[in-house]
Amino acid sequence: MNLRSFLFVPGDSEKKLAKGATVGADALILDLEDAVAAPRKPLAREMVREYLNAHPKQRASQLWVRINPLDEGGLDDLAAVVRAAPDGIVIPKTHGPADVLRLSHYLDVLEKRDDVASTIRILPVATETAQAPFRLGDYANFDLPRLVGLTWGAEDLSAAIGASTNRGADGDWAFTYKMVRSACLLAAKSIDVQAIETLYADFRDSDGLRSSCESAAREGFTGRIAIHPDQVAVINDAFMPSASDVAYARRVIAAFEVASGSGAVGLDGKMLDMPHFKQAQKVLALSEAYSRR
Ligand code: COA
Ligand code: MG
């Protein structure tokens, strides 16, 4: 299932955990990492486990957990939450697909230990260390059936490389982050998993969020991280094919049907060939998947 919005919810906030369930995100990410101060991590782990137990499957939003890096408490997080059967695990600060494989092996064992009937999925934050961007192409050489997508992050990467900002003079991402974002998009597509756009920090600016999401969706991203409930509806809307996208896709497919057998057709004075046909099929498939929900 395609997931458009992943809303981060700090795992130690009773109020936000309660609110999270009501906002219509395709997935919540119950956070045990950066949104939780170190002294509160053990408490957050317990609260997240209880929350998962109190919200069994068939819930409106999938429930994911962001653990700490495996060598910094993440293994304890996993051991605590797997028995409550989250839909997936977000793993931060990965250096590459070997880290995802390691997590996957841990899940193999813990699911057995705890009699978890479902398969817990994985979404790595795939660009938060200086090494990570160089390994993005290696995902294609690993067999990772739990992997549903790749997402990227600019904040930890700038801290990792000692940059005082990740923005250029124009306010847009600086070149390093644009490069990493594109590489993450391509890596996700190369293994046919979701490409998840990073968060939009200015959570009061819904117009800015909307246009940023629309541009990400045009580039091929299929979903986005949210940090505030108000961002969820904007994200859900932007990553679902619009009525006009669907109408156009139908016209493209019809044009190919009429010209049966020919690889290129004209529509509205433009040449269309196989890539356009395939893109139109993808738009229709996505729209049908959402209408079945
Ligand atoms: N999940 C669930 N509920 C949230 C929420 C979130 N991420 N962010 C805010 N809310 C709730 C608030 O508790 C508040 O609830 P109320 O109406 O019952 O009082 C309501 O939504 C409105 O919140 P608001 O006052 O606008 O924001 P805030 O100042 O309370 O919080 C942040 C701002 C940024 C601290 C907060 O949005 C947040 O914690 N975001 C997630 C941070 C995170 O997880 N970071 C790690 C990943 S980068
Ligand atoms: Mg972080």
- What does pLDDT average to in each consecutive run of 10 residues of the chain (293 residues)? 95 97 96 98 98 87 97 97 98 98 98 97 98 98 98 97 97 97 98 98 98 97 98 97 95 94 93 95 91 78
- What is the predicted pLDDT for the residue at 59? 78
Which ligand neighbours the alpha carbon of 156 most closely? 2
Amino acid, res. 249: A
Any idea which residue has 């909307």 for tokens? 210
Task: Flag whether the pTM goes above 0.85.
Answer: yes
- What is the predicted pLDDT for the residue at 57? 76
Measured from the CA of 20, which atom of ligand 1 is nearest? Answer: 2
The answer for 241, left when phi > 0, alpha when psi is -120 to 50, beta otherwise, is beta
Rounded to the nearest angstrom, the distance between the alpha carbon of 169 and the centre of ligand 2 is 24
- What is the predicted pLDDT for the residue at 112? 98
For CA atoms 150, 155, 160, 165, the dihedral sign is: positive
Residue nearest to atom 17 of ligand 1 (CA): 19
CB crowding 5-37: b at 16 or more within 10 Å, else e = bbbbbbbbbeebbeebbebebbbbbbbbbebbe
Residues touching ligand 1 (Cβ under 6 Å) are 7-10, 15-16, 19-20, 31, 34-35, 199, 227-229
- What is the predicted pLDDT for the residue at 36? 98
Q: What are phi and psi for residue 226, nearest 5 degrees?
A: -120, 150
The pair of structure tokens assigned to 161 is 């490389």
Rounded to the nearest angstrom, the distance between the alpha carbon of 7 and the centre of ligand 1 is 10
Residue nearest to atom 25 of ligand 1 (CA): 228
pLDDT in tens, 73-107: 999 999 999 999 999 999 999 999 999 999 999 99
Residue nearest to atom 11 of ligand 1 (CA): 16
The tally of CA atoms less than 13 A away on the side-chain side of residue 96 is 14
Residue nearest to atom 13 of ligand 1 (CA): 16
Measured from the CA of 7, which atom of ligand 1 is nearest? Answer: 7
Rounded to the nearest angstrom, the distance between the alpha carbon of 229 and the centre of ligand 1 is 7
